[in-house]
Structure 1
Amino acid sequence: MQLRDALDDYKRTTGHETRFPGERRTVTGRFSGGDGRLVHVDGDGELRDFGYPLTGQTGLVRARFGLTIDGNISWFNAADTQQRYVDDAPLVETTHEVASATVTRHDATIGDAHVTRAVVEAGDDLAVGDCSLVVYARFAPDGRDERVGQLRYDDAVEVYHADEHDFLASATGFTDLRGQLPATFEELLDDAPTELPRDRDNARYEEERLSGEVVVDVPLEDGVAVVGTLLTDRAEWNREAAHDHLSTLLADAQSVDALADAASETVPTVPESTPARESLVADLRVLSLLSADSGLRIAGPDFDPHYQHSGGYGYTWFRDDAEISTFVLDADDRLGIGLDDWHARSAAMYVDTQRPDGSWPHRVWPRDGALAPGWANARIEDGPDVDYQADQTGSVITYLARARAAGVAGQSPAASGTSSRSVDGLDRALVAALAGLDAALASDGLPVVCQNAWEDSIGRFGHTAATFLEAYSELARHGEGIDAAALDADSDLPDGSRLDADLPDDLAAHAHVQAERVFDALDDLWVSDRGCYALRETPEGDIDDRLDSSTLALSSAHRSFDAVRDIGEERLDRLVAHVETVVDGLAHETENVSGLQRYEGDGWRRASQHSEKVWTVSTAWGANACAELAVLLDDHNDPRADELFARARELLAYVSPGGSLCASTGHLPEQFFDDGTPDSATPLGWPHAIRLATVALLADADRLSPVVAD
Structure 2
Amino acid sequence: MHLRFALEDARRHEGDSTRFPGERRTVAGRFTGDPDGDRLLHVEPDGTIADFGYPFSRRAGIAAARFGIETNDGVAWFDDDRCEPVGQRYHEDTALVVTEVATPNGRVELFDLALGDGDAHVRHVRGLAAPLVAAVAFAPDGRTGRVAQLHHSDAVEAYHAHEHDYIAAADGFREVRGEAVPNFDALRNGGASLGESGEEAVLSGAVVAVAEPTEGAVTLSTLPAGRDREAGLARVREAAREHDGPTALRSVATEHTLADTTPTPAVASDLRVLSLLRGTAGRRIAGPEFDRFYANSGGYGYTWFRDDAEIAGFLLEADREFDLGLTDWHAKSARAYCDAQGEDGTWPHRVWPGDGALAPGWANDRLTDGGGDAYQADQTASVLSFLAAYREHGPASGVADDVDEAIADGVDAMLADTADDGRPVRCQNAWEDMHGRFTHTAATFLEGYAAVAATDHPDAHRARDAAGRVSEAIEDLWVPERGAYALRTDRDEVDDRLDSATLALADAYREYARIAAVDDVHVERLLIHLEATLGGLRRTTDAVDGLVRYEGDPWRRQEQAREKVWTVSTAWGARAAASVGTLLRERGDDRANDWFGRSHRLLALVAPDGPLSTDADYLPEQRFDDGTPDSATPLGWPHAIRSATLATLTAAGASTPAGLPEKRM
Q: Displacement of 1:290 after TM fit?
A: 0.4
| C-alpha contact (below 8 Å) 2:571/2:638 kept by paired residues | yes
Distance 2:195 2:290 in 1: 35
In the alignment, residue 80 of structure 1 is paired with which amino acid?
E
Q: Displacement of 1:260 after TM fit?
A: 2.0
Which position in structure 2 is the counterpart of 1:368? 355
Identify the match of residue 64 of structure 1 among 49, 63, 66: 66
Q: How does 1:15-34 map to 2 (within 5 A)?
A: 15-34=15-34
SS at match of 1:108: strand
Which position in structure 2 is the counterpart of 1:245? 235
Identify the match of residue 341 of structure 2 among 329, 347, 354: 354
Q: TM-score, normalised by structure 2?
A: 0.96
CA 1:423–1:2 in structure 2 vs 1: closer, same or farther (change >3 Å)? Answer: farther
Distance 1:19 1:450 in 2: 32
Which position in structure 2 is the counterpart of 1:407? 394
Distance 2:514 2:195 in 1: 76
Identify the match of residue 336 of structure 1 among 310, 323, 326: 323
Distance 2:24 2:504 in 1: 32
Q: How does 1:646-665 map to 2 (within 5 A)?
A: 646-665=597-616
| C-alpha contact (below 8 Å) 2:180/2:195 kept by paired residues | no
Query: Does structure 1 residue 89 correspond to structure 2 residue 114?
Result: no
Stretch deviating more after TM superposition (63-72 or 137-146): 63-72
| C-alpha contact (below 8 Å) 2:226/2:232 kept by paired residues | no
| C-alpha contact (below 8 Å) 1:270/1:281 kept by paired residues | no
Query: Does structure 1 residue 569 correspond to structure 2 residue 520?
Result: yes
| C-alpha contact (below 8 Å) 1:586/1:597 kept by paired residues | yes
SS at match of 1:334: helix
Query: Does structure 1 residue 700 correspond to structure 2 residue 656?
Result: no
| C-alpha contact (below 8 Å) 2:121/2:239 kept by paired residues | no
CA 1:594–1:202 in structure 2 vs 1: closer, same or farther (change >3 Å)? Answer: closer
Q: Displacement of 1:251 after TM fit?
A: 1.3
Identify the match of residue 107 of structure 2 among 75, 85, 102: 102
Identify the match of residue 323 of structure 1 among 305, 310, 329: 310
SS at match of 1:77: coil
Distance 1:696 1:315 in 2: 27
Distance 2:297 2:260 in 1: 35
| C-alpha contact (below 8 Å) 2:7/2:22 kept by paired residues | yes
SS at match of 1:434: helix
Distance 1:54 1:80 in 2: 33
Q: Displacement of 1:383 after TM fit?
A: 3.3
Q: How does 1:463-612 map to 2 (within 5 A)?
A: 463-478=440-455, 480-482=456-458, 507-538=459-490, 540-612=491-563
| C-alpha contact (below 8 Å) 2:549/2:565 kept by paired residues | yes
Q: TM-score, normalised by structure 1?
A: 0.90
Q: Which runs of 5+ in 2 are unaligned?
A: none
In the alignment, residue 258 of structure 1 is paired with which amino acid?
A
SS at match of 1:32: strand
Query: Does structure 1 residue 445 correspond to structure 2 residue 422?
Result: yes
Q: How does 1:618-657 map to 2 (within 5 A)?
A: 618-657=569-608
Identify the match of residue 384 of structure 2 among 389, 392, 397: 397
Which position in structure 2 is the counterpart of 1:119? 126
Which position in structure 1 is the counterpart of 2:259? 269
Q: Displacement of 1:100 after TM fit?
A: 2.8
SS at match of 2:639: helix
| C-alpha contact (below 8 Å) 1:348/1:424 kept by paired residues | no
Q: Displacement of 1:587 after TM fit?
A: 0.6
| C-alpha contact (below 8 Å) 1:617/1:686 kept by paired residues | yes
SS at match of 2:542: coil
In the alignment, residue 48 of structure 2 is paired with which amino acid?
E
Distance 1:404 1:260 in 2: 38
Aligned length: 654
Identify the match of residue 74 of structure 1 among 63, 76, 84: 76
Q: Displacement of 1:239 after TM fit?
A: 1.6
Distance 2:158 2:241 in 1: 22
Identify the match of residue 254 of structure 1 among 219, 225, 244: 244
- Cα deviations by residue, 1:84-132 (Å, 9 ceiling, x for unpaired): 11111111001010013111000000131111000025xxxxxx3xx10
Q: Displacement of 1:423 after TM fit?
A: 5.0
| C-alpha contact (below 8 Å) 2:170/2:244 kept by paired residues | no
Q: Displacement of 1:466 after TM fit?
A: 0.3
Which position in structure 2 is the counterpart of 1:495? none
Q: Displacement of 1:265 after TM fit?
A: 4.1
Distance 1:329 1:280 in 2: 13
Q: Which runs of 5+ in 1 are unaligned?
A: 122-127, 410-418, 483-506
- Cα deviations by residue, 1:179-229 (Å, 9 ceiling, x for unpaired): 112222232121x4x57xx7xx96221111110001010110000100110
Distance 2:175 2:457 in 1: 68
CA 1:385–1:260 in structure 2 vs 1: closer, same or farther (change >3 Å)? Answer: farther
In the alignment, residue 209 of structure 1 is paired with which amino acid?
V
Distance 2:318 2:499 in 1: 25
| C-alpha contact (below 8 Å) 2:544/2:626 kept by paired residues | yes
- Cα deviations by residue, 1:640-665 (Å, 9 ceiling, x for unpaired): 11111111000000000111001110
